[in-house]
Amino acid sequence: MGLINWVKNLGSNVLYYPGCLTKGVLSKEFENYKEIFNRLGIDFILLSKDESCCGLPILNAGYRKDARKLAKKNFDLFKKHSVTKIITNCPACHYMFKKVYPKLVHDWNIKVEHATVTILEALKKRRVKFRGSDVERELVNYHDPCYLGRYSGIYDEPRKLIELLGGKIVEMRFNRENALCCGAGGGVYSNSPDIAKKIAVERVKFVLPDATRIVSPCGLCYLNLKSASEKSTEFSSFVLGKLRGFER
């Protein structure tokens, strides 16, 4: 990275924060993201044994004081380990750290980036891209997660990443700002799984027949849409599969 940049980065760490769902349920996807980062030379540390929930479920349940305490606890942990940047694949965690923590924690000064943005920039720097023809591209439906899209304004980066790796986005009806929720958010998946699945069934009705996969960078969207369609694919599985394919 150069001597000057190396000196500037002494005593600073980039934290990969997978979030509760990825760490506790989606173990395969957790490993996927770590492998992707390693393959692309993205340096990171993990605090898996020490880190707590980001606090969004507590906040959404109305316990603002408890959410503030948890945020302060996390911030103290991050400072202890000299964390200056957080990369997370969880849209809800990204929103919480990026938009909410500055309001809950005094002197919050940690840069926050969603994994899709990090991976896209790394691919560009390393000039990794699909070399085949347009007819060889895989037709993919992309599902916009609520917390990544409407809440955080990240629409283009995941799509560019898919295209860079050989996918061809065929947009579903109701996308971007007007995308339909997968049905799992707000505690619905945990407390009313039948309702969550019914909403997922409605969402996948808009999947185009020629699309081979429904790709989403939200673990919760992936799980709930998978209850209605086997085409549901978590983002890291798509990315890692393509990266491995380039090596063959």
Same domain, residue pair 105 and 158 = no
Is 125 part of any domain? no
pLDDT at 1 over 50: no
User: How do residues 194-238 score in pLDDT, each as one tens digit?
Assistant: 999 999 999 999 999 999 999 999 999 999 999 999 999 999 999
CA of residue 63 relative to chain centroid, distance: 25
**Residues with Cβ < 8 Å from 125, sequence gap 6 or more?**
none
CB atoms within 10 A of CB 173: 11
pLDDT at 49 over 90: no
pLDDT for 11 equals 64
pLDDT band at 133 (very low <50, low <70, confident <90, very high): confident
Domain boundary pick from 118, 144, 161: 118
> Residues 183, 195: contact at Cβ < 8 Å?
yes
User: How do residues 53-63 score in pLDDT, each as one tens digit?
Assistant: 999 999 999 99
pLDDT for 105 equals 96
Whole-number Å distance between alpha carbons of 53 and 22: 11
User: How do residues 142-163 score in pLDDT, each as one tens digit?
Assistant: 999 999 999 999 999 999 999 9
pLDDT for 180 equals 93
Angle between helix axes 115-126 and 27-39 (nearest 10 degrees) is: 30
Give the C-alpha distances (Å, rounded to integers) separating 178 from 99, 149, 173.
21, 9, 9
pLDDT at 2 over 60: no
Angle between helix axes 156-164 and 115-126 (nearest 10 degrees) is: 40
pLDDT for 102 equals 97
The pair of structure tokens assigned to 33 is: 């993201």
Q: Which residue has the higher pLDDT, 64 or 1?
A: 64
Sheet with 13-16: strands ordered across: 13-16, 83-88, 111-114
For the chain, how many structural domains are there in total? 2
pLDDT at 97 over 80: yes
Q: Give first-to-last CA distance, the chain, whole Å.
A: 29
| 86 backbone dihedrals φ, ψ, rounded to 5° | -115, 130
Same domain, residue pair 74 and 161 = no
Whole-number Å distance between alpha carbons of 80 and 88: 19
Supply the range of the domain harboring residue 138: 130-246
Share of the chain above pLDDT 90, in %: 87
Domain boundary pick from 84, 118, 152: 118
pLDDT for 12 equals 82
**Average pLDDT of the chain, as a whole number:** 93
Same domain, residue pair 15 and 113 = yes
Share of the chain above pLDDT 70, in %: 95
Same domain, residue pair 49 and 140 = no
For the chain, what's the residue count?
Answer: 248
Residues 15-36 have a mean pLDDT of 97
Sign, CA torsion 231/237/240/245: negative
> Residues 222, 216: contact at Cβ < 8 Å?
yes
Is 84 part of any domain? yes
The three-state secondary structure class of 123 is: helix
pLDDT band at 7 (very low <50, low <70, confident <90, very high): very low
Residues 172-181 have a mean pLDDT of 94
Domain boundary pick from 98, 118, 138: 118
| CATH number reported for the structural domain that contains residue 167 in this entry | 3.40.50
| CATH number reported for the structural domain that contains residue 60 in this entry | 3.40.50.1860
Whole-number Å distance between alpha carbons of 231 and 225: 8
